[in-house]
Amino acid sequence: MTRIFSGVKPTGHLTLGNYLGAIRRWADEDQHRAESLFCVVDLHALTMEHDPARVRRLSRQAASLMLAAGLDPQGCTVFVQSHVDEHARLSYLLECVATDGEMRRMIQYKEKVVRAQSAGQSVRLSLLTYPALMAADILAYGADEVPVGEDQAQHVELTRDLAERFNLRYGRTFVVPRVTLPTVAARVMDLQDPTGKMGKSHDSTAGIIYLLDEPAVITKKVTRAVTDSASGVEYEPSERPGVANLLEILSSCTGKEPRTLAEDYDSYGALKRDTAEAVVELLRPLQTRHAELSADPGYVDGVLKDGAARARALARPTVDAAYRAIGLLPPT
């Protein structure tokens, strides 16, 4: 059976980008057709300056939102990365397979170095080695598919390279995974800066729709989205990124093609009104379910405990095999 692994970092409140790019597919499709593991990758949240209490809080919230989005703990495994030692154990071996040069070529690393430096912060070494940990997340479970948004495609490519290199040097140990991207909304853009990704840890929040934003807040953010001064509604992602972003969001909510939708509108006002309404309705059931789950933290903790036990049992044999293959003396 196909195996799927994906994860979300508890570095901020989850956004519409996380949902349309990743989580919605995990819930609506992936968990039903494959043996799936979905992880709150908390170790990854330590690669930039962080507040310990906030990471803890956001980790539980991310798990609860994943369940609210429809992940069914009977049908898939939901867990927290740091609860399973195999991730960190395998990450070190992959650091011994990866090169310094290929890590430095990662777009996200280069962007985040600039961001850290302009905020006067030092760059943590773990920011550079992060893709080795991400590769370990995926390879420890023998995942065939990794459903992510477009920004993570380069990291999954690197994971493939590391798996192939390890297998070639030390004998076949890992499944070589492939990325799966959504057909629309693979990169939801910031509503205030449609040339940049809607990212959960950006400083300015006016262009970011959070999954727990109230309907009135969602409507305000969509209504104030930056478009352009051209008249008429057309789907031209490179020329008119703001309008294209709204059309993609609406498309992702309605299932109609962005280009077909564009023909239905002749004003930005109507497009924004319908997009806001579609997003509010899309998120309503998730918000209701999240409120129920928040009232019952014991349930979420129980799911994470069971999930970690299942994940541990799956990962252990593969990581042990990698330790043996690379030349480490097995304990007796």
Q: Which residues are catalytic?
A: 112, 197, 200
Is residue 86 a contact partner of residue 79, using CB atoms and an 8 Å limit?
no
Closest CA to 136 of 104, 80, 181, 95: 95
Task: Kindly state the greatest CA–CA separation across the chain.
Answer: 74
What would the x/- binding string for ligand AMP be over residues 3 to 42, using CB under 6 A?
Answer: -----xx-------xx--xx--------------------
17 binds, among ligand TRP, ligand AMP, none (CB under 5 to 8 A by kind): ligand AMP
Cα–Cα distance for residue pair 284/226, rounded to 1 Å:
25
**Helical (H) or strand (E) element with 17:** helix 16-18
Q: Among 129, 152, 251, 318, which residue interacts with ligand TRP (rule: CB under 6 A)?
A: 152
Q: How many CB atoms lie within 10 A of CB 42?
A: 21
* Per-residue interface string for the shown chain with ligand AMP, residues 178-217, x marking contact by CB under 6 A: --------xxx--------xxxx-----------------
What is the spatial distance between Cα 322 and Cα 171, in angstroms, rounded to a whole number? 9
Question: Residues 4, 5, 144, 261: which binds ligand TRP (CB under 6 A)?
Answer: 5
Question: Residues 118, 119, 122, CA angle at the centre, nearest 5°?
Answer: 90
C-beta of 153: minimal distance to ligand AMP in Å? 8
What is the sign of the dihedral through the CA atoms of 251, 209, 109 and 11? negative
Report phi then psi at 275, rounded to 5.
-65, -45
When binding is defined by CB under 6 A, the residue of 13, 24, 25, 44 that contacts ligand TRP is 44
Q: Pick from 315, 321, 318, 326: which is nearest to 168 by CA? A: 326
Closest residue to ligand AMP, Cβ-based? 21
127 within 8 A of 48, measured Cβ to Cβ: yes
Name the one range near ligand TRP by CB under 6 A: 66-74, 132-140, 295-303, 318-326.
132-140
Beta carbon nearer to ligand TRP, 38 or 323: 38
Q: Which does 300 bind (CB under 5 to 8 A by kind): ligand TRP, ligand AMP, none?
A: none
Residues that bind ligand TRP (CB under 6 A): 5-7, 9, 41, 44, 134, 137-138, 146, 148, 152, 155
Residues that bind ligand AMP (CB under 6 A): 8-9, 17-18, 21-22, 148-149, 151-152, 186-188, 197-200
